[in-house]
Each structure stands twice: as structure tokens, then as C-alpha cells.
Structure 1
Amino acid sequence: MTKGQIRKAISGFYYVEQEGELIQCRGRGVFRNRGISPLVGDFVSYVREGDNDATITEIDERKNELVRPPISNIDQAFLVFSLVEPDFSPHLLDRFLTVIESYRIEPVICVTKKDIASDNAIEDSEAALNYYRGIGYDVIETYIEDPQLYSVLEPFLKGKTTVLAGQSGVGKSTLLNTLIPDLALKTGEISDALGRGKHTTRHVELMEVAGGLVADTPGFSSLEFTHIEKEELRDYFIDMNRIAPDCKFRGCLHTKEPGCAVKAKVDSGEILASRYKNYVQFLQEITDRKPRY
């Protein structure tokens, strides 16, 4: 058996990289029987059955995995958000951050389309972006013709496996086109009627970029919290989690409990009020979820 990493998955075929060569593989039937599916990013063992045909026989243990997009063994996530077309949404950003934090993946906030944003749009987003910087997140602001784009992104990408995630139309494919000019990914146009982008990326693929691996993934506009329990949610809001030990009651959910240090910081303006509002909404969403059996 030979070991390699799945770099691409299309229509039931898995393309495994081994010493610079991509081997077309199928998964063993036993994986389906066990309810297991190989994912892009998996390190696997395979047996060759021809010059460019093989069967995956084993999947190594994963350090993490995402369901949507389906990918494993990720070091960091570039959460790509545009300032306009579609408009910047702190609410959606907090949803992404919550899910990414829950998988113990390092988030990097990447804001696009600054070159076509109005002064008002830039000003409206700046307070929120400064807050995220202040609590410890890296925030990169880009535009497509930025001559420094590659040099800005390279230190973040080198030696890491990075997933690009965000709404359709925010510029993920355009960003990759800039990093890899020969890639020529089809970029989507924004639907004026719907105010959101068309899906242009149809599969997940890891590509070598700036000394690391970057995944372009199908765009999507919402994330569910089906794997998160309400007692866990507070851990994934890093600004609140740091203050939680000062709450009067252990296990404080930061809603109605007396002596809540988090609510005090919200009242004083040290925790962004809109972010706390998102936390409360997400908590209610999880509370209202039907029990899993």
C-alpha cells in the first residue's frame, strides 16, 4: 500500500497526490457500509490497480473535518467577506466564526472589494473590523488590483492548509485567480434581483499556493449549529470566554444570570453590543432546536 493525500474529489473519484503525481482512486465499498466518506484533505493508503487507477483502502485519523464544505485536516480558515455586493454582514461573520471556532480551526478574516466600496460602506464596517482585530483575530483587507496582495497573503498561507469560505459572490474565486493567474476559475456575477451570488465552484480542491495548500469550496450563505450544544456556544465567542471566569455563577450562559461579568462588559461597551446580540440569538436557535435521538 502507498500513502498520499486526497487533493480533489469529483463524481465519486478521489485524486490522491503522491510525490507530485495525482492518482485517480475510488473508495472501498466498506467505507460506504460504515457510513464513512473520504474527504479532500484526508491522508489515505491506496492500492494501485493500473497506471492511473487505484482503490483507497484506509483513511488516517483526522485532526478535524468540516461537513459543509466537506474537507479535513485544516489548519486555518480564510473567512472571505466583501464590503459590498454583497454587503458586509457582521451577523453572518459571527456565524462563521462560531462554527470555525467549534472545530478548533484558526480563523482569518479576509475582507474584499475595498476598491469599489463607498466611503460610507468602509466607515460602517470599520468599527466592527477594529473590534475583531482587538480581540485577537487577524483581519486582511484586500482588493483585486492590490499590487501587494500576494506578499500580504503569503505569510498566512505558507506551510498551512487553508480553506476559503464565505457567501457566494464575495470574491473567493477571484482571490484565487489573483494568486494563481493560470487557474482561470470562473467568477460569478451578482444577481441584482436576489442580492447574492451564483455558485461558481462545484467541487472542493486543494491547490498549492504560496508554499501551502488552499481549498476553493462551493459558496454558501448560511451555517447551522447542529453539532453545538447551548452550554458550548459561549466557548466559541472568544471575547466572552476570556471574561466568563469572572461571572458570579459557574456555567453562566450570559443571559439572565445575576452577577454576569460578560453582560457588564456589554453594558460598558467593552464587548460589542451587536456581537452579544448575535450570541443571544444563536443561543436561542440552539435552545429551540429539536432534540437529537
Structure 2
Amino acid sequence: MSGGRRPLDEDDVRVRARGGSRPRTRIRPKHEDAREGFVTAVDRGRYRCLVEDRPVVAMKARELGRGSIVVGDRVALVGDLSGRPDTLARVVRVEERRSVLRRTADDTDPVERVIVANADQLVIVAALADPDPQPRFIDRCLVAAVDAGLDPLLCLTKADLAGPDDLLRTYAGLDVPHVVTRRDQGLDALSARLAGRTSVLIGSSGVGKSTLVNLLVPAAARAVGDVNPVTGRGRHTSTSAVALPFEGGWIIDTPGVRSFGLAHISPDDVVAGFADLAEAVAACPPGCPHTAGAPGCGLDAGVADGVLAPDRVASLRRLLSSREPGDDRA
């Protein structure tokens, strides 16, 4: 369509049922009697909300259009707020979000997907074995945390299968806080980091994320597949995000993901997520693409001088190059 206008769809057309006599108006109700709720889960167009410690199921009011409502949102609700079975309230407003954690399907996908809202801590759960650690996935999550304004926390699981030292050395220059767990040990340190905060847990399938949640919040009963009682190995089978109250805060468990696209984050902000490389990048000439062999690139000089870890530089460069269409190396 010319002029940059988007195609119309059914949400752009308001049709009044036949026989109605009330004239249409552009003035929307203010819903001054609406009550505040907290979205704890989303399931096929229904929103589980907490209203003064009372669970309420709601649907989205048509007047909100196509805007998304996600776990962690603070919303305004009207209608039946009793929470009784088979009752349904309406979400009439989504309050301003303090933070938004997003991802895309891949690094060239223009469609952003909001994962959660209003979190203040991103807990990156990574197994030390079975599956093996994925530093590049961790790097992506760290970039996303910086972009969303969330404090990162690295949670390393299955330390009974492999030690954490090698992986921790990779991130020593970032000074990212971390906790290490093995089976049901290390939970006290993790609990202390989670208490009083709204933390979103994210990780690849099988790293033991939902197993952790079940240990921290036994009533959660998050689904895991065939966990071996000796090794703690299991396949993550959770399919939806859910917020669970925990020691004055919230734990938001999310489904395991295979990829964490960053198409919505600018190249400069991707670089900002690698704080341990910031000093070298600052020495680059204006417009430097940060590719290997780029004239005057401070990353090459840092590696040559032994100041920068080659793996970290390679990870940044892969991430930047993956944003080019047809590149699937990240």
C-alpha cells in the first residue's frame, strides 16, 4: 500500500449490532471504579490475575485493541471480581510498565515478543552438564538484561555433574553475581538473591529451571519430564510463563527456549552488553564495524595484547554478524 500505511484488518472496523439505538461515541469510559490486578498467567486469551490476594480470571476488553498483556503486567479490571468459578472480569487498562523483557525468534525477525513485564532481575539458568553450558546463549541473555534494565544473575545448575570454574572464568570480567546449585543444594544462596524481588527465570530446555522452581515453591508443581533421582537430569516440559509469590517478591518461570533473538536491540546496545570489552571498543574509530581485521578496531588490538579473551570477542562478533540476513552462525 502506498504512503507507508499499514493494511486494515477487522480491528479497524467497528460494527454496531443491528437494532441498536445508542449512537456510537469515540469517548471511552474512564472506568474510575476499576480495581488493580497483577497478571500471574496467560492462557489462550484468558488472564489469571491477583486482586488483593484473590485469583480472578479475566478477558481483554475490546477497547484495548491488539496490545499484548503479559505476565507481570499491572492491570485495571472491572466486572465480576469475586473469583468464583465460571466468572469472568475484563481488563480495561494496562498500567505503565517499569521494564519489559523482549526477544525475537531470531536476529533478523522484526517481530518483538514481550516475555514478561515489570521484572527487576533476570536469572539466567544454565546447566554445567547435560546439556553442556551455552556461553553464547548466556551472552544473549546478558545483552537482553542490559537492554531491559534488569539486574542479571547467573544460576549454574547440576554442579554435581561438572564444576563451575571454567564457565565462571569466562564472565569474571563482568562481575555478574552467580549462584551454583547441585541437586537440592545451593538453594539458600539462590533464595537470598530472589527474596523481595521480581525475578524472571530463563534458560534452555533441560537445564533444570522448573525443577528449581518446584524446590523453591513446592506448591508450584511445574512440569518436568522424567527427572532422574541420581543425576537430576530432566526435560523441561513447561509451556507457559507463570508468576509465583516468593518471600515478599515474585518468581516468574518461563518455558525453555531454543533461541533468544535480539533483532530489536541496536548494534550499539549489543556492544553495551559486553561491558568487559567496553574499554577496547571505546578505542575504535568512529563507525567501526568491530569485525575481525577492521582498520583500527580496538578488539583486535586487545586480543593481540592478551588483554581481551578471544572467546568473548568472538562471541560479540558472531552476535553482530548474525543480524545480517542469511547468517545463521549465532
Common fold by TM > 0.5: yes
How far apart are the structure 1 equivalents of 2:326 and 2:39?
Answer: 35
TM-score (norm 2): 0.76
User: Which AA in structure 1 matches 2:71?
Assistant: V
How far apart are the structure 2 equivalents of 1:221 and 1:144?
Answer: 23
Counterparts of residues 63-102 of structure 1 (less than 5 Å): 63-67=98-102, 70-102=115-147
Aligned to 1:9: 42
The verdict on how the C-alpha distance between 1:229 and 1:131 changes in structure 2, with shifts beyond 3 A counting, is same
Q: Which of structures 1 and 2 has the bigger CA Rg?
A: 2
The verdict on how the C-alpha distance between 1:248 and 1:111 changes in structure 2, with shifts beyond 3 A counting, is closer
TM-score (norm 1): 0.85
How far apart are the structure 2 equivalents of 1:181 and 1:5?
Answer: 21
Partner of 2:225, secondary structure, is coil
How far apart are the structure 2 equivalents of 1:50 and 1:182?
Answer: 24
Deviation digits for residues 80-103 of structure 1, max 9, x if unmatched?
A: 010111111212221222233222
Unaligned runs of 5+ in 2: 1-33, 104-113, 228-232
Residue 213 of structure 1 pairs with residue 246 of structure 2: no
Return the offset for 1:260: 3.2
2:309 to 272, 276, 282: 272
Contact 1:115–1:143 at 8 Å: present in 2 too?
A: yes
Return the offset for 1:226: 1.6
The alignment's C-alpha RMSD in Å is 2.4
1:156 to 193, 218, 224: 193
The verdict on how the C-alpha distance between 1:251 and 1:197 changes in structure 2, with shifts beyond 3 A counting, is farther
Contact 2:210–2:236 at 8 Å: present in 1 too?
A: no
Counterparts of residues 43-122 of structure 1 (less than 5 Å): 43-49=74-80, 51-52=82-83, 53-67=88-102, 70-117=115-162, 122=163
User: Which AA in structure 2 matches 1:61?
Assistant: E
Aligned to 2:27: none
Residue 40 of structure 1 pairs with residue 71 of structure 2: yes
Aligned to 1:138: 177
Aligned to 1:223: 260
User: Which AA in structure 2 matches 1:47?
Assistant: V
How far apart are the structure 1 equivalents of 2:174 and 2:305?
Answer: 16
Deviation digits for residues 148-194 of structure 1, max 9, x if unmatched?
A: x332012311221111100000000111111122333222248xxxx
User: Which AA in structure 2 matches 1:177?
Assistant: N
How far apart are the structure 2 equivalents of 1:269 and 1:161?
Answer: 39
Residue 18 of structure 1 pairs with residue 51 of structure 2: yes
Counterparts of residues 190-269 of structure 1 (less than 5 Å): 198-245=235-282, 247-255=283-291, 256-269=293-306
User: Which AA in structure 2 matches 1:65?
Assistant: V
Partner of 1:167, secondary structure, is coil
Deviation digits for residues 207-266 of structure 1, max 9, x if unmatched?
A: 012332001111111111221233432122111224433x15234343344433333222
User: Which AA in structure 1 matches 2:101?
Assistant: L
Contact 2:75–2:92 at 8 Å: present in 1 too?
A: yes
Contact 2:123–2:153 at 8 Å: present in 1 too?
A: yes
Which stretches of structure 1, 4 residues or more, deviate above 4 A after TM superposition? Answer: 196-199
How far apart are the structure 1 equivalents of 2:184 and 2:272?
Answer: 38
The verdict on how the C-alpha distance between 1:83 and 1:189 changes in structure 2, with shifts beyond 3 A counting, is farther
How far apart are the structure 1 equivalents of 2:176 and 2:273?
Answer: 13
Unaligned runs of 5+ in 1: 191-195
